[in-house]
Amino acid sequence: MQSACPNGSADVTGRIASLPLFHKAAGTRIVVVGEGPMADAKRRLVERAGAMAVGEAEAHHATLAFVALEDPGEAAAVRQRLKAKGLLVNVADKPDLCDFTTPSILDRDPLLIAIGTGGASAGLAKHVRLRLEAILPQTLGALARALAEGRDRLRAALPDGDARRRAVDAALRRGGMLDPLEDASAERVTGWLANPATDAPARLETVTLTSDDPEDLTLRQARWLGEADAIYHDAGIAPAILARARADAQRHPLDEAPAAPSEGFALILRRG
């Protein structure tokens, strides 16, 4: 579920409105204030995360709180008391009183996909999740567990961190041995671990951009941005385009671009 607590939306500079985090709550106490369907939904969410829903009297044991009260004045007063005790507070349906939002959740345990709109529209987040539910196979969880169980074997086969990342990227990309959208991928992990580097050849691709709008990227271009280990780009490439790249991808000026593949996946971005 998602509380309506907007913090704005991403702008063309590539900034994001909220910092998305997964908070480990198992074994902790989280304050939930209120009664009725809205408060009950918050308690179910808290318990689903392995935490204990407690009242305001136990706020000194908690770091997070949900307030689900219909009366605006009462909700603001409770929030103020909880804030004074150092808690981060979500006030249901009170956008200006929220420190954090709760996204719509797609659960493929241990893979968890959180879809947020910064509180702009809980309905939109829900329907995006429902579309993804129809696309993403239930076996994604099994694939994630198999990869976790094989982590030590992968490190033994490929001690170099960059080599491991390239091998995993190659295996998980569309059509790869471990394509996440194929039901049988989880069953292939053991075979892949026997020689994970075979699917990770050096690559060099070039994209010529015709627009500064990331919405104009083709599916292939967007995928390459998300996969590339290194990006060589014109100084004038829009920040919103570069924001689609992996956060840990190395960035280089265009004049340093290689002439041929050497190692990993290098992507050249030019303006049209």
Residue 36 lies in a domain: yes
Task: Indicate which CATH number applies to the domain containing 252.
Answer: 3.40.1010.10
Predicted confidence (pLDDT) per residue in 58-85, tens digit: 999 999 999 999 999 999 999 999 999 9
Question: Are 148 and 170 within one domain?
Answer: yes
pTM exceeds cut of 0.95:
no
Residue 247 lies in a domain: yes
**Angle, CA of 118, 123 and 125, to the nearest 5°:** 50
Write the DSSP symbol of residue 60: G
Question: How does residue 176 score in pLDDT terms, banded at 50, 70 and 90?
Answer: confident
Question: Are 129 and 33 within one domain?
Answer: yes
- Positions of E strands within the chain: 29-33, 52-54, 64-67, 88-91, 104-108, 111-115, 203-209, 230-233, 250-253, 265-271
Question: Are 129 and 42 within one domain?
Answer: yes
How far is the C-alpha of 82 from the C-alpha of 98, rounded, in Å? Answer: 12
Look at residues 153, 174, 199 and tell me which one is the last residue of a structural domain.
199
Residue 10 lies in a domain: no
Q: How many domains does the chain have?
A: 3
Question: Are 212 and 181 within one domain?
Answer: no
Residue 61 lies in a domain: yes
Question: Are 229 and 192 within one domain?
Answer: no
Max CA pair span of the chain: 66
Look at residues 133, 159, 177 and tell me which one is the last residue of a structural domain.
133
How far is the C-alpha of 238 from the C-alpha of 211, rounded, in Å? Answer: 9
Residue 23 lies in a domain: no
Residue 259 lies in a domain: yes
Predicted confidence (pLDDT) per residue in 16-39, tens digit: 778 889 999 999 999 999 999 999
Question: Are 186 and 148 within one domain?
Answer: yes
Predicted confidence (pLDDT) per residue in 127-161, tens digit: 999 999 988 999 999 999 999 999 999 999 999 99
Question: Are 61 and 153 within one domain?
Answer: no
Question: Are 238 and 164 within one domain?
Answer: no
Residue 106 lies in a domain: yes
Question: Are 99 and 193 within one domain?
Answer: no
- Give Cα 201 distance to the centre of its chain: 27
Look at residues 109, 133, 157 and tell me which one is the last residue of a structural domain.
133
Question: Are 244 and 168 within one domain?
Answer: no
Predicted confidence (pLDDT) per residue in 206-249, tens digit: 999 999 999 999 988 998 998 888 999 999 999 999 999 988 89
Residue 181 lies in a domain: yes
pLDDT at 13: 55
Q: Nearest to residue 26, comparing CAs of 62, 52, 56?
A: 52
Question: Are 121 and 148 within one domain?
Answer: no
Question: Are 125 and 42 within one domain?
Answer: yes
What is the span of the domain harbouring residue 208?
A: 203-271
